[in-house]
């Protein structure tokens, strides 16, 4: 008996490559923020005070631009889902923008801050660029893998039906790195920036790992919350807004370790115990 064939979601190239205005506008703004963050990093490294701002101020602006890119990345998916206007073009466009905003921008930021041969860390003079490239490569591989497993011609599997991402999402990885740079600049903790290359390699590994992270893709305007959980969210958001830079770091750290904790719990779960949902 022959295997059943699957009808393609898109029947012609024009249908697959349609450009829907609002979702792709959000993606374009994501790309713009990533590009502007790269420019700020270059200005901080090579222009500095001549630009009218200190390198610290320029790196801080680059961080906020990367965080803005994360918001636009979340928004484009929501707009596409809300209007039922998703396309293969939008998915590929989104991945290209993510490589710039969440791959190139954080890599250059850390390279100029700590890995550059002129920054006074002899150990990194020869391998600094390699560490930055490894992170960028893992971002590209992570995004490519996601596009493959969610392609319309791939039959639904545990990966596509799951409410989790496989591997740390690229926006979360960029948010983790950039928020730490924001914290170091805010409290003038540049002496601790030597840990950034090691952290970058760890995050790069998490992006291509089998560790599952919640995607929140099923949360929308119709999602219902019980009263206690709603109040808890409001309280947490209020506290994080007060402590700002520390709060942003805690958000990304919490997401990073939450997925790792669930992975370890699932891996070492006693036999016979049902898996955690």
- 197 Cβ partners below 8 Å, 6+ apart? 110, 114, 115, 124, 128, 131
Q: What is the pLDDT of residue 175?
A: 96
Q: What is the pLDDT of residue 95?
A: 93
Q: Does residue 273 lie within any of the structural domains? A: no
pLDDT tens-digit series, residues 60-100: 999 999 999 999 998 987 787 775 666 778 888 999 999 99
Q: Does residue 275 lie within any of the structural domains? A: no
pLDDT tens-digit series, residues 236-254: 888 778 888 899 999 999 9
What whole-number distance in Å separates Cα of residue 220 and Cα of residue 3?
Answer: 36
Of the ranges 17-31, 131-145, 158-172, 251-265, the best mean pLDDT one? 131-145
Where residue 189 falls among pLDDT bands split at 50, 70, 90? confident
pLDDT above 90 for 178 = yes
Q: Does residue 2 lie within any of the structural domains? A: no
The CATH number of whichever domain residue 250 belongs to comes to 1.20.120.1760
pLDDT above 50 for 14 = yes
pLDDT above 70 for 173 = yes
Q: What is the total count of domains within the chain?
A: 1
Neighbouring C-beta atoms of residue 31, cutoff 10 Å: 21
Question: Which of the two residues, 106 and 125, has the higher pLDDT score?
Answer: 106
Question: By the 8 A CB rule, do 136 and 128 touch?
Answer: no
Structural domain span for residue 241: 15-267
What whole-number distance in Å separates Cα of residue 95 and Cα of residue 227?
Answer: 37
Where residue 134 falls among pLDDT bands split at 50, 70, 90? very high
pLDDT above 50 for 4 = no
Q: Does residue 176 lie within any of the structural domains? A: yes
Q: Does residue 203 lie within any of the structural domains? A: yes
What whole-number distance in Å separates Cα of residue 71 and Cα of residue 65?
Answer: 10
Q: Phi and psi at residue 20, in whole multiples of 5°?
A: -90, 135
Share of the chain above pLDDT 90, in %: 38
Q: Does residue 159 lie within any of the structural domains? A: yes
Task: Copy the structure tokens of residue 227.
Answer: 């009263």
Q: What is the mean pLDDT of the chain?
A: 81
- Rounded to two decimals, the pTM is 0.85
pLDDT above 80 for 260 = yes
Q: Does residue 84 lie within any of the structural domains? A: yes
What whole-number distance in Å separates Cα of residue 221 and Cα of residue 113?
Answer: 40
Where residue 181 falls among pLDDT bands split at 50, 70, 90? very high
Question: Which of the two residues, 65 and 231, has the higher pLDDT score?
Answer: 65
Q: Does residue 1 lie within any of the structural domains? A: no
């Amino acid at each position: 008996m022959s295997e059943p064939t699957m009808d393609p979601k898109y029947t012609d190239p024009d249908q697959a490559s349609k450009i829907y205005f609002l979702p792709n506008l959000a993606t374009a703004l994501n790309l713009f923020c990533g590009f502007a963050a790269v420019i700020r990093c270059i200005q901080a490294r090579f222009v500095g005070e001549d630009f009218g701002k200190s390198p610290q101020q320029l790196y801080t602006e680059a961080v906020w631009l990367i965080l803005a890119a994360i918001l636009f990345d979340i928004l484009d998916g929501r707009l596409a889902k809300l209007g039922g206007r998703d396309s293969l073009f939008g998915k590929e466009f989104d991945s290209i923008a993510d490589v710039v905003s969440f791959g190139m921008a954080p890599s250059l930021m850390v390279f100029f801050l700590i890995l550059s041969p002129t920054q006074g860390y002899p150990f990194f003079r020869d391998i600094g660029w390699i560490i930055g490239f490894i992170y960028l490569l893992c971002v590209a591989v992570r995004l490519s893998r996601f596009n493959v497993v969610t392609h319309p011609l791939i039959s639904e599997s545990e990966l596509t039906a799951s409410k989790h991402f496989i591997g740390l999402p690229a926006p979360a990885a960029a948010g983790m790195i950039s928020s730490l740079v924001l914290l170091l600049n805010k409290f003038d903790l540049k002496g601790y920036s030597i840990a950034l290359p090691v952290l970058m390699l760890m995050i790069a590994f998490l992006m291509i790992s089998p560790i599952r992270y919640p995607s929140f893709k099923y949360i929308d305007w119709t999602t219902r919350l019980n009263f206690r959980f709603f109040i808890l969210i409001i309280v947490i958001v209020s506290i994080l807004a007060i402590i700002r830079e520390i709060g942003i770091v805690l958000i990304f750290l919490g997401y990073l370790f939450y997925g790792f904790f669930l992975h370890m719990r699932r891996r070492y779960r006693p036999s016979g115990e049902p898996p955690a949902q």
